[in-house]
Structure 1
Amino acid sequence: MRRSTWILTGFAALLLVLAAVARFAVLPAVHQVPDDVNENPQYEGTATILNQQALASGDLANAFLVDVPVLMDRHIKVTATDGDTAVFSDSRVLLGPDGQELTSSEEHWAVDRVSLEARPAPEGVDASPHEGLVIGFPLEPEKHDYRWWDHTTGTEVDAVYTGTEKRDGRTVYGYTIHAEGPMADSGELPQALPRDAVGGILASVPGSTVDPATLPEMVPLSYAATTDLVLWIDSGTGTIMDGSHGQNIMATTQDGTALFPIADVRVTATDETKENQADTAKEISLALTLLGVVAPLSLIGIALLLLALAAWGVRKRRTQPPATPDEPTTPQPESVTTA
């Protein structure tokens, strides 16, 4: 075999190895939650909120902000990674009219970088314990129910698969989530209020049937929460393409009698957020296609072409007739000149 054939075969083998590396090593390493996630989805809608400032000042006539327009400003950021684990910061600020901050919260979650299931937090990093999904869906979601962590009640519930639709040319899967129960952590809310204060608040609650006279002089409070989510997840990347969020937090007596709402929030993703999420899904999908399909197939195609050229060269040499050796020439006697 000639040197050129060896070179062509060697290059072809190298390209086949590179195709396998791109598909089975580089792609899995890239197809995971990156360490620079920094997203700012926003949701708009209405809310009825207990006005904590009015309550603190004794202005019970203005104890509630009722059906005010609100914007939920959410900031999702990866703050740490360790191998297959990513730690997310998930902060939410509910803004009322004129940008007034009504409520705020921040949680930290440690999740698997592909399945987004719960994982132990890296050493030295704080994250809230949980089970199931909490910040998003797997990068390759499937058409079935998942388990979801509702951090308000501290319970694991079903994220129920509801069907498939098209959004912005992308195939998306729908899931609904419903959770209800006592609040897991109500430490920042009043744990008790004077009966007169509770009576003043109840007077501004439409349809309230609670008689303040039946309450103790100091009313111990408990809190119950109901959460409803509707999420549409891109089938190829796990990106949340669209969603709505509803949550009601109700102050109750210790025996469970409902008194008054602390917050009743109903919001949906803004058009800008939906457009940004669709663009993100398309960019991720294109990158995965180039790396996982186009690049390996291109390398394999070039490798096959090189192997075909090498085989053609070998075949050509085999079909050529052997070279005929040159016939020996008979030396002619030198002529003798006589005087």
Structure 2
Amino acid sequence: MESRHHGGRRGDGDDGDDANGRDFEFTFDCSIVEAGGAGSFIEPDATSTSSNSNWSDNRNDSASLSDSVRTFPEEFGRTYHAYRAGSYAFPNDTPEQERLQLQGECIKRLLDDRLYLAPLSTSRPPCAILDVATGVGDWAIQMGDLFPESMVIGTDLSPIQPADVPPNVHFYVEDSTDPWDFSQQFDYIHTRATSGSWAAFEAQIAEQAFTALEPGGWFESQEVDCNVCCDDGTLDPNGPVAAWFNDLIAASEKLNRPAIFGATLKEVFERVGFVDVQQRIFKMPIGGWAKDTRLKEIGYMWGINLLEGMAGFSYQLFNKAFERTSAQIEVSLIDVRRDLTNPRIHCYVPTFVVWGRKPYPGEV
């Protein structure tokens, strides 16, 4: 993927000429979408100067769970999962469920409205699909609609999925870091936006996915790294936004739930034993600053996603890792919210999509 652009790199000390109306030139070659690939420079919209502040088996399926699993503990005015309480730092209440729906839509649009990039066939659909850490189950439900002859299973710590789902879709409360004991093999296994969920993605998820797949089956991960980037020097590397992202990374590391692992996915897939491993890297804009209409809309939505999720992302992590109170956390987020809605700051987060195939016996 080839790119050329004018403008500074992240951390450069330039003054952000684009805010004064300078045009940026770029070229790119992206096989999935026309813009937003890792090698492309996202051209800012020089006419956008107003604030974006308006963003503002023997398993128990989710329909038949004990009250203890559905009685969610409350902290910081939010609710959290009850099963294996404390192993996942983010809330599961209604605001978070709505945010998860928005997050999934953003990722799908970034992938050119595709749910997956692995070469699945609609004429010969996968028999069994597994969505690990399914969240509100939106991806699994859409896959169930797309492949009505396939069995789709979604697992999560929280039973927050809707009851009205396609007949071929089933949800179970599971801790995916435990040994998997599914009675069937899968043809396709998927993860999406699971940063901060795993202590060891390779051992806990990738290796188990390899074992649980039929030979010839595919494993795909769509992961948004918690690493804010900027290509034109408009993001202050010592400013509130960069500091907040750095705190998220540091707190996640301290609690042994790394928030950055997208850049290592391809290597992990290959090390586990997958073949035909492919990787696509995209840029997820934060805010509606991009000139490209599609990326402007995606960035606008992702900005809302961050603004609505910011407190929930921060409370437990910063309290446990840094012993900050909720009041201290809220005060620190004021400047972060202000800068995230500033269209003169052109930042984004890298999004990694990696897929690989389990080889047939004797193939490797």
State the TM bucket, normalised to the shorter chain: under 0.3
Query: What TM-score results when the alignment is normalised by the length of structure 2?
Result: 0.26
Q: Which is bigger in relative contact order (C-alpha 8 A, separation at least 6)?
A: 2
Q: Which has the larger radius of gyration?
A: 1
Query: What TM-score results when the alignment is normalised by the length of structure 1?
Result: 0.28
